[in-house]
Amino acid sequence: HNPPHTTVQDNNNNRRKLEQDEVEYFVGAYCSESGSAIHLGVFTDDTCSQFADENGGASTYMSLTYGKTLPYADTTMIGTECMSCKEPADANQNNENDQADEDEVKESCEQLYEQSGKCEYGLNIQYPNNYGCNFMEGIKIVRKNGTIVSGPGSKNTAASVFIGLFACSFVLLGGYAYYLKTKLDRAKVNLVSEE
């Protein structure tokens, strides 16, 4: 919260009162522009869709916390390292958790997989879950060199239509130009023969 009346000092060392409305701020996660990182930001709405400032809310956070920086404003919250899902052989390493079943998969990995969107197309299982296939095909992956890779089979229909129209127009205009050139050549031949 900002207090309704704040006293500030301007460049001329004159004191003036600055009236400010009370504003609520919200902290939430958001995806970077490239989609390859998740950051924390400060927002002015509870749906975390309007940044509090042009720096993703980092400047607002710094002014509200008297100079503290917003964690994960510049670095991603999610690491790129993988974790093992294999259950340890020694039950004590897992604090006796998840020993009731016979599998060798950690319970946290089982739960994560159960709750995640899936595209099990092509897997040799009895009831494949393919509800996430369309979403996953639309995801754009950013490689370390900065190139964007789209999911398989994604096409830009509008671009294909424009390419087709351009190619047809080029062929038709070329044919028309050849027709006009031939007509002019015949007219020159007729003029020469009349002389």
Q: Could you tell me if 141 and 177 lie in one domain?
A: no
Domain residues for the domain of 174 are 161-195
Domain closes at, from 64, 80, 110: 64
Q: Could you tell me if 142 and 171 lie in one domain?
A: no
Q: Could you tell me if 143 and 95 lie in one domain?
A: yes
What is the number of alpha carbons within 13 Å of residue 171 lying toward its C-beta? 5
Q: Could you tell me if 146 and 167 lie in one domain?
A: no
Are 39 and 29 within 8 A, CB to CB? yes
Domain closes at, from 15, 47, 64: 64
Domain-located, residue 106: yes
Give how many domains the chain has, as a whole number: 3
> What mean pLDDT, rounded, does the chain reach?
77
Domain-located, residue 81: no
Between 34 and 62, residue with greater pLDDT: 62
Domain-located, residue 77: no
Task: Take residue 116 and report the two structure tokens written for it.
Answer: 């995640």
Task: Take residue 24 and report the two structure tokens written for it.
Answer: 């609520």
Average pLDDT over every residue of 134-145: 69
- Is the pTM higher than 0.85? The answer reads no
Residue 79 Cα to chain centre, angstroms: 17
Domain-located, residue 85: no
Are 104 and 86 within 8 A, CB to CB? yes
Whole-number pLDDT of residue 20: 44
Are 118 and 130 within 8 A, CB to CB? yes
| pLDDT tens string 44-96 | 998 888 999 999 999 999 999 999 999 999 888 888 788 888 887 765 555 55
Alpha-carbon distance 194 to 48, whole Å?
84
Whole-number pLDDT of residue 6: 40
Residues in CB range of 150: below 8 A, 6 or more apart:
137, 138, 140, 141
Domain-located, residue 155: no
Domain-located, residue 84: no
The 3-state DSSP class for residue 42 equals: strand
Q: Could you tell me if 125 and 106 lie in one domain?
A: yes
**Does residue 123 carry a pLDDT above 80?**
yes
Average pLDDT over every residue of 33-45: 86
Domain-located, residue 175: yes
Average pLDDT over every residue of 154-176: 87
Residue 135: phi and psi, rounded to 5, are: -65, -45
Q: Could you tell me if 165 and 133 lie in one domain?
A: no
Average pLDDT over every residue of 144-151: 58
Whole-number pLDDT of residue 81: 80
Domain-located, residue 74: no
Whole-number pLDDT of residue 9: 40
The continuous run of DSSP H or E covering 29 comes out as strand 26-31
Between 22 and 174, residue with greater pLDDT: 174
**Does residue 16 carry a pLDDT above 50?**
no
